[in-house]
Amino acid sequence: MNESLLNAENYLYLHPSENPAVGLVSPVLDSSNYHSWSRSMITALSAKNKVEFVNGKALEPLKSDRTYGAWSRCNNMVVSWLVHSVSISIRQSILWMDRAEEIWNDLKSRYAQGDLLRVSELQQEASSIKQGSLSITEYFTKLQVIWDEIENFRPDPICTCTIKCTCLVLTTIAQRKREDRAMQFLRGLNEQYNNIRSHVLLMDPIPTIPKNFSYVAQQERQLTGNNSISNFHLESKEGSSINAVKSVCEFCGRIGHNESVCYKKNGLPPNYDGKGKGYNTRKTCTYCGKLGHTIEVCYKKHGYPPGFKFNNGRTIVNNVVAADGKVTDDQKLSQESQELVHFSPEQYKALLALIQQPSTGNSASIKPQVASISSCTNNDTTGYDYQGEDWYS
């Protein structure tokens, strides 16, 4: 075997670890990404030292040449890489082509046309793109991809004169292109970057694109850091899940509160439950001092309702406390003795006149007054009925 074929620098050298059943780039070729795909493929093939098989430099030798076998193996390897690096719909159209250069030229002739239309679309997209919800890195990367594709269609002109120009016109054109891209990048930023935008546009000469990105990225980190600190303090104040940092009271030295709300310094708040669990919001009676009701419905002040049962089993019967719901004779007598007879002003005057008369007087004159008192008593439903009683029998 020719020793040159064993040299790794020779494009006919094929490493044993090469796999023909894999694609070299991602994403694969479709009808809209030929230029980015072709650039990626050229880079991958150049890394494998096989780019000569697509640019026409690796000429096919005669079948009688001893290098024909090595060339055929390398060509088939590149063909397989190309087939696995395109979409399925495109793959069917190149599957029966034998040479890698033929496949490459066919794809270029089909998908590299319409440069002016594609350039117009890219320029419109670059001029209308805005940062929005994207980060600075995401926004810049999106713009950079568009600029690179435009550069692929319209690279900077190169002077081909035998005697190089000294007018620096190409340098001026390149500088204006950088300024246009810098203004595109700054114009699409959100409003919080207005200060950095104004500052950069006032600089002369305007900084390069990477330098502008560095300025804006620093501003983004500063704004993000301030927002993070503000959110941390806000969530801590509202008692959220941030428990890493707690306030320390300078008066008692305990963690979880500050001096302005320290109980040891300012005293316990009213209605504190005394168990360290918060405040007792139940109603408090100002008459008996118990919780759960107010003075307007206090039984101790207004009396217990009939049938009211205490915790110890005692029951209220006719406003009398009874054990097991039974009222004894003594309790009934005590209740009856506490009931009062209510007299109206007319009854009171008649009774007073009756008492003041001499006991030796005529009983006939007394009876009409007793009847008058009885009649008044019968009209009053709140007193006793004294009709038929003889006060002097």
One pLDDT digit (tens) per residue for the chain, 393 residues: 555 566 778 888 888 888 888 889 988 998 878 888 988 999 999 999 999 999 988 888 998 988 899 999 999 999 999 999 999 989 989 988 999 999 999 999 888 776 677 788 888 998 899 998 899 999 999 999 889 888 878 888 888 888 877 788 888 888 888 888 999 999 999 988 888 888 888 888 888 888 999 999 998 888 877 655 555 455 544 444 444 445 667 677 676 677 777 767 776 665 555 554 444 556 778 888 887 788 888 888 887 777 676 666 665 555 554 544 454 555 554 554 444 455 677 777 888 888 877 654 455 555 555 555 555 444 444 444 444 344 433
Q: How far apart are CA 263 and CA 183, in angstroms?
A: 61
SS3 244: coil
**Through-space distance between the first and last CA atoms of the chain, rounded to whole angstroms:** 161
Residue 365, burial from CB neighbour count under 10 angstroms (0-12, 13-18, 19+): exposed
Tokens of residue 234, six digits: 């806000």
Amino acid residing at 104: W
CA angle 341, 345, 351 (to 5 degrees): 70
Q: Which residue has the tokens 């594609």?
A: 118
CA angle at residue 102 from 97 to 107, to 5 degrees? 95
Separation between Cα atoms, residue 93 and residue 108, nearest integer Å: 13
Residues 74-104 as b/e (b if ≥16 CB within 10 A, e otherwise) read bbbbbbbbbbbbbeeebeeebeebebbbebb
Taking the CA atoms of 99, 103, 104 and 106 in sequence, report the sign of the dihedral they define.
positive
Q: Per DSSP, what are the bridge partners of residue 320? A: 317
Question: pTM of the full predicted structure?
Answer: 0.46
